[in-house]
Amino acid sequence: MSIAKSLYPDSFKREYSYVYDYDPIITYLGETLVRADIGDYQGDTYLLLRTSNGYGFVVIGYGSCSGCDALQACGSYEDVDNLISGIQSSMKTFDTLADAQLHIANDDYHKFMFYGNESDWQKFRDACLSLDA
């Protein structure tokens, strides 16, 4: 069974159906330690996760329609599986929480990425750095 079909078992049974909730994918990726949803009808979700192999940091962009949201644009379980694979590939992984925190602590990190603004990144970063190993 595909990962997508196990996460969204009742989707794609009707014409013009789609999935829009990233939470099942996030839960599949790991336990959420810190999450920040930044934006309104479009934005980014920053995540620090505990994974089966350690820790992960990933950013998932979202939109309000199938033209600007990758998950809503999926028309099949295969599309969703490919999206999940892409999200997994973009996740930065770490053996320890301290390694993840060191990576996130880099003050200039967010300036080189496509997401976030200074204050939003600072809040997320501070929440990540406040975790005890």
pLDDT tens figures, 34-43: 999 988 888 8
List C-alpha distances in Å: 37 to 13, 44, 82.
30, 6, 23
The domain in which residue 39 lies consists of: 3-129
pLDDT per residue as tens digits for the range 59-107:
998 988 878 899 999 999 999 999 999 999 999 999 999 999 999 988 5
CA–CA dist 7, 41 (Å, integer): 23
Closest by Cα among 44, 31, 48 to 126? 48
- The pLDDT assigned to 108 comes to 63
What pTM does this model have?
A: 0.89
Q: Which residues contact 69 (CB under 8 A, 6 or more apart)?
A: 20, 62, 63
Polymer length in residues for the chain: 133
pLDDT attached to residue 107: 57
Contact 127, 105 (CB under 8 A): no
Mean pLDDT of 41-46: 87
- The total number of structural domains in the chain stands at 1
